[in-house]
Chain A
C-alpha cells in the first residue's frame, strides 16, 4: 500500500512539474495573464494619473493601482511598427500602470500564429489583422468601456465595422482600422523620360489597361528594362482590374453565391496570362510564387520594372528605399469597359474578449483613435487614415504627399462590389483560391476553363458551408 501511495505522489509531482511548465504557445506572441501586483510595482504618489485619465467610477480602487501589461500582436509593412511604438511610449508615460508590449511577427505567419491562440483562448489583448472576418465571435466588445461609444462608432466606415461582426450582430464594436489601403499602380517615371514615351495619365484622365501595357512595353524595349508590367501575386490585387474589365462575382451585395465564369473575368485572366506568354512580367511573382503571396516591390525598387500594380502600403518603403535613385510616381487605376476601381483593404487593430484587461484595452483604443494620435500615425507611416473625421480634415504627409493624394482620390472611385469582396468572409476564401488557380493556368497545369471550374467548385463548397 505504501508503495502505491509513494508512486502516486511521485506521479502527481511529475504532472505538477509539467503543469507548471510554460504555456505551449510561443512566448513572444502569447498573451500572458495579468502580472500579479508586486509591492514595488505600485505607482508612486507622484505618478497619479491626470484628472482626464482618472479611472472611471466602475473601476475598483485596487485595480487602478495594479500594474497591467497589454500585448499587441503586430506585423510591419514599413516603418509603422516604430511609429506605433513611439505612440505607445507616450501612452505609457501618461498611464504608468499600463505597459504595452508589441510582439512583431512576419505578415505571412500572422494568421498561423493567431488562429490557434484565439481558438484556444490565449490570444493577445489586441492584434493587427487584415482578414477581418476570420476571428468573428472572438472579439472584445469595446462598448461598455468606451467613453462615448456612439460617437466613436460614427467615426468608422459601417462596412468595416460590419466585417468584424457575426451575421446576427449589428451593434458590437471590436476594433478600428489602423489604416485604409487602396490598390493601384506605380510607374518608374525616369524610364518613361529616358524612353521619350509620354506618361499616358499625364495627358488623359481615363487610361485603359491596354494603353498602359502598350506604353510600358515601349518603355521597356527602349530602355532595355527587363519587365514592362507586374502585379502582386494576390487575388485581392487581381479583383480590382477584373471588376474594371466587367467581372461580376456576385449579383447582389448580400449574396453568398459567387459566379466566376464571366466574360469580364476571362478578359482579366487572359490579360494576366498574356503578360506571362509575352514575357513582359517577372515570372518570379506569379509563376515562382509557389503557394503564397508574392510581391513585385523588389523588382520595382531595383529599377527593373516600368509599371507595377500594388497599393498605397508600398509608398513608405519606396520613399525610403528608392530615394533619389529614380523618379517614381503613383497613377490612377486603369480603366476597363466597366470603369476603374482599386480594391479597398487595410489593417485593423482588434481586441480579443479573452483579454483580462478590457478597461485598459478600451483606454488604449480610445487613445490610439484620437484624431491627433491617428493623424500622427498615418502621416509618419504614410498610411491613408481609416477614420471619417481625419478623412474630412485631411492628413499632411511629411513626404510623398503627391503620391498619397493620388491614392486618396482612388478611394472615391471604389466600386461597391470591391467592398463586398474584401470585407466578406467568402471573399477570403476566393482570394487565395483565385491566386493559386490563376497561377496554375499561367504555368499550363490547368486550362483557364479548368481553373474557372475549380474556383467555382471551391466557392460553391464555401457558400454551402456558410448556409449550414
Chain B
C-alpha cells in the first residue's frame, strides 16, 4: 500500500518553488496523520473519509431538517419544539386542499396558499420565458465578433454578482412612487407619476423584470458557452446549401443548442419557483398579496403567524411539485439523449 505523498513523485518546479514550501511542509505533516489511517482502512475507503465532513454538513443542515419538516407537517400548535407539538394527522393538508374552486383563492380555507401558488405559477411562466428569450438574444449578440465584446459580456454578467437584496434595494429606489428615480424623471418630462410597485399589474411586471435583469447574465453565459461549442463547419455547410441566417438559426443553432437550453430551462424553473429574497425586499408581497409567492407564504406562515405545521405542510406540497418537475425534466432529457 502506498503512502499518499509517495503515490506521485513531485515535479522539479514544485520542489524548487519557494512560495510552495509552506504548503509542501503542511502536506508532509498531513501525511503523518493520514498515512496510518490509510494503512488501517485501506486506500479505497479513504474516499469515504474525505466525503465524511461534507456528508455530515449535508446531514445536519439538509437531511435532518427535511425529515423534521416532514414531521412538522403532521403536527399543530404554535410551539417550535417537537415535544410540545400535538400530532394532528393530515389536518394541515386537508385545510390546504379545502377549496370550493381552486382557481378562486377566496373560496379556499387557506386562501393565501393558493394566492401564493397561482402568483408563483404566473411568475414562473413569464419569468422563465423572458429569461430564456433575453438570454438567448444576448448570447447570440455577444457571440458575434463585435467591438468591445468582452466589455459587454462583463456588463451583462455584472448583476449576477450582486446580492438579491442589493438588487431589490437599487430597484426599489428607482421605482418608489413618491421619491423614486423613475417617477422623478417622468415628472421632469411633465408626465404624471406611475404607481410602479403599488399597482398589482405593474408590481407583477417589475418583479419579473428585475428578476430577469438580475439573473439573465448567468444564463447568457451558459448559452454563450453552448453557442461556442457549435462547430463553424456546420454554418459553412448550411451557407453552401444556400441557407440564410434565419434558416441557419432555426436548423443549425437551435437544434444544437437544445441540450444547453434544457439545462437553462431546468435551472431557471427551479430558481423561479424558489423566488423569495428579492421580492421580499422589493414589494414584501404587496400590493395586497399581488406578489406573494409560495416561499414567502411559507416564511410568513411559519415565522410571523407561528403556524409551523401549516408552513411545513405547504413546503411539502411545494417539494412534491418540484419533484414532479425534476422527474419530468429527467424523462425529457433521457428521451432526448435516446433520440
The chain A residues found within 8 Å of chain B, CB to CB, are 2-3, 6-7, 10, 14, 18, 112, 115-116, 119-120, 226, 282-284, 287-292, 299, 304, 432, 439-440, 442-446, 450, 454, 457, 465
Contact = CB atoms under 8 A, between A and B. Distances in A.
Contacts of A14: 52-53, 56
Contacts of B306: 115
A291 B293 CA distance: 11
A290 B116 CA distance: 13
Contact of B288 (A7, A115, A443): A443
Interface string B271-315: 000000000000111111111100010001001111000000000
Chain B, interface SS category: loop
B200 interface: yes
B300 to A, nearest CB: 5
Contacts of B178: 226, 282, 284, 299, 304
Given A2-B40, A454-B111, A291 B198 contact: no
9 contacts: A14-B56, A115-B306, A119-B80, A120-B80, A283-B287, A290-B287, A444-B288, A445-B290, A454-B111
B106 interface: yes
B79 A292 contact: no
B106 A112 contact: no
B200 A443 contact: yes
Contacts of A443: 200, 287-288, 290
Nearest to B36: A6
A18 B195 CA distance: 51
Nearest to B200: A443
Nearest to B297: A291
Interface of B: 37, 40-41, 49, 52-53, 56, 60, 76-81, 84, 106, 109, 111, 115, 176-178, 195, 197-198, 200, 283-292, 296, 300, 303-306
A304 B296 CA distance: 32
B8 to A, nearest CB: 25
A3 B48 CA distance: 15
B199 to A, nearest CB: 9
Contacts of B109: 457
Contacts of A284: 176-178, 198
A120 B81 contact: yes
A226 B106 CA distance: 34
Nearest to B291: A290
A401 to B, nearest CB: 32
B288 A439 contact: yes
Q: Chain B CB within 10 Å — which of A3, A7, A288, A450 has the most? A: A288
B79 A290 contact: no
For the complex of A and B, 3 pairs with smallest distance between CB atoms: A290-B284, A443-B288, A290-B286
A283 B195 CA distance: 9
Majority SS at the chain A contact face: helix
Contacts of A2: 40
A233 to B, nearest CB: 10
A230 B240 CA distance: 71
Nearest to A458: B305
Contacts of A288: 177, 197-198, 283, 286-287
A291 B40 contact: no
B200 A290 contact: no
B287 A287 contact: yes
A445 B115 CA distance: 10
B310 to A, nearest CB: 11
A289 B41 contact: no
Contacts of A3: 40-41
A6 B40 contact: yes
Contact of A291 (B49, B53, B84, B304): B304
B80 A432 contact: no
Given A14-B56, A287-B286, A291-B284, 13 more contacts: A3-B41, A7-B40, A10-B37, A119-B79, A283-B287, A288-B198, A289-B284, A291-B292, A439-B288, A440-B289, A442-B288, A443-B200, A445-B289
Contacts of A119: 79-81, 84
Contacts of A289: 284, 286
A141 B221 CA distance: 61
Nearest to A429: B305
A287 B80 contact: no
B304 A432 contact: yes
Nearest to A444: B288
A3 B39 CA distance: 9
B38 to A, nearest CB: 11
Nearest to B57: A18
A290 B283 contact: yes
A287 B288 contact: yes
B56 A290 contact: no
B41 A7 contact: yes
B39 to A, nearest CB: 9
A115 B286 contact: no
A135 to B, nearest CB: 11
A304 B79 CA distance: 43
A447 to B, nearest CB: 9
B110 to A, nearest CB: 10
Contacts of A454: 111
A442 B84 CA distance: 38
A437 to B, nearest CB: 10
A39 B310 CA distance: 52
Nearest to B305: A432
Contacts of A446: 106
B289 A6 contact: no
Contacts of B41: 3, 6-7
A145 B125 CA distance: 62
A290 B285 contact: yes
Nearest to A2: B40
Nearest to B195: A283
A291 B300 contact: yes
Given A290-B286, A291-B286, A442-B288, A450 B80 contact: no
A452 B198 CA distance: 23
Nearest to A440: B288
Contacts of B300: 291
Contacts of B111: 454
A7 B76 CA distance: 42
Contacts of A444: 288
A299 B176 CA distance: 13
A227 B81 CA distance: 47
A439 B81 contact: no
Contacts of B84: 119
A206 B27 CA distance: 84
Interface-central residue, B60, B79, B284, by most chain A CB under 10 Å: B284
Nearest to B79: A119
A314 to B, nearest CB: 19
A432 B306 CA distance: 12
Contacts of A445: 106, 115, 288-290
Given A6-B40, A288-B177, A445-B288, A283 B303 contact: no
A283 B177 contact: yes
Contact of B80 (A115, A290, A442): A115
A290 B79 CA distance: 26
Contacts of B303: 112, 115
Nearest to B80: A119
A434 B250 CA distance: 55
Contacts of A291: 284-286, 289, 292, 296, 300, 304
